[in-house]
């Protein structure tokens, strides 16, 4: 029985490596240098697949991967259908924020009930956030470089992930609202957890033990 683990390249892969090691799993190739999308590991029964961060929940939902690691940002957008989310791995930590241009008076715009134009990759998150506040927004879907939108008049505000705040600062933007703390979660296909329980449970246990709190 093979266990397939879905990961994205970059910070999630790097920060998941020590957790995999704790479960006795070592990739035999580095996704940064290999062009392979299916990576073997030291264990004949465990393989990794490398997918786009926002696609991890989809692979696990449909059982193409048994286990995955996905940011809470991505899980909020996906909705989490069919996914068991047993562990907050406490990795890839950042914050979901609303940001505007340095010279934009966000408080009065909101107070005056102005219709805000908000550009974001996180349409569902943004919709939920502003609906809960009773703020009317026009959402503009982007796929990256959200920081540019307020600078060229595409939007009044953006909803984006912030860690150090360096990118906002470099682009004369300021964070005006904190929507949520974000970290990555372990996601497991619910059917796989039952059918492959004896293989999957030890991996979950090893991850749980290795998590930094």
**Which chain residues interact with ligand ATP by CB under 6 A?**
8, 10-12, 52-54, 71, 73-74, 92-94, 144, 161, 163, 182, 184
- Choose between 10 and 113: whose C-beta lies nearer to ligand ATP: 10
DSSP string, 93-162: -EEEEEEEETT--HHHHHHTTPPEEEEES-HHHHHHHHHHHT--EEEEE-SS-TTHHHHTTS-SEEEEEE
Q: How far apart are CA 27 and CA 175, in angstroms?
A: 38
11 Cβ contact list (under 8 Å, min separation 6): 91, 92
Task: Identify which of residues 34 and 42 has a Cβ nearer to ligand ATP in the complex.
Answer: 34
The distance of closest approach from Cβ of residue 166 to ligand ATP in the complex, given in angstroms and rounded to an integer, is 9
Measured from the CB atom, the residue of 121 and 196 that comes closer to ligand ATP is: 121
CB of 96 to ligand ATP, least distance (A): 9
Q: How far is the CB of 13 from ligand ATP (least distance, A)?
A: 9
Residue 159 CB, nearest distance to ligand ATP (Å)? 13
- Comparing CB distances to ligand ATP, the nearer of 74 and 203 is 74
At residue 31, the 3 state secondary structure works out as: coil
Q: Which is nearer to ligand ATP, 10 or 40 (CB)?
A: 10
Q: How far is the CB of 156 from ligand ATP (least distance, A)?
A: 22
Nearer to ligand ATP, 35 or 111 (CB): 35
Token pair belonging to 134: 């009773």
Element containing residue 204 per DSSP (H, E)? helix 197-210
CB of 42 to ligand ATP, least distance (A): 25
Residue nearest to ligand ATP (CB): 71
Q: What is the CA radius of gyration of the chain?
A: 19
If residue 191 lies in a helix (H) or strand (E), which one and from where to where?
A: helix 190-195
* Interacting residues of 117 by C-beta distance below 8 A, sequence separation 6+: 137, 138, 140, 154, 155, 156, 157
């Amino acid at each position: 029985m093979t266990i397939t683990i879905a990961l994205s390249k970059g910070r999630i892969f790097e920060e998941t490596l020590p957790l995999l090691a704790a479960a006795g799993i070592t990739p035999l190739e580095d996704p940064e240098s290999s062009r392979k999308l299916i990576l073997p590991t030291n264990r004949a029964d465990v393989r990794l697949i490398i997918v786009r961060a926002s696609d991890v929940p989809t692979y696990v939902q449909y059982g193409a991967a048994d286990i995955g690691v996905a940011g809470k940002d991505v899980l909020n957008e996906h909705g989490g259908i069919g996914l068991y989310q047993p562990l907050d791995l406490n990795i890839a930590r950042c914050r979901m924020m609303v940001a505007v241009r340095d010279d934009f008076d966000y408080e009065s715009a909101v107070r005056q009930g102005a219709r805000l134009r908000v550009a974001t990759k996180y349409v569902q998150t943004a919709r939920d956030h502003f609906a809960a506040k009773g703020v009317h927004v026009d959402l503009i879907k982007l796929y990256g470089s959200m920081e540019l939108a307020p600078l060229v008049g595409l939007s009044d505000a953006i909803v984006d992930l912030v860690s150090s705040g360096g990118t906002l600062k470099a682009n004369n933007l300021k964070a005006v609202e904190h929507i949520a703390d974000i970290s990555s979660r372990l996601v497991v296909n619910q059917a796989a957890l039952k059918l492959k329980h004896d293989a999957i449970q030890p991996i979950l246990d090893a991850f749980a033990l290795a998590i930094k709190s």
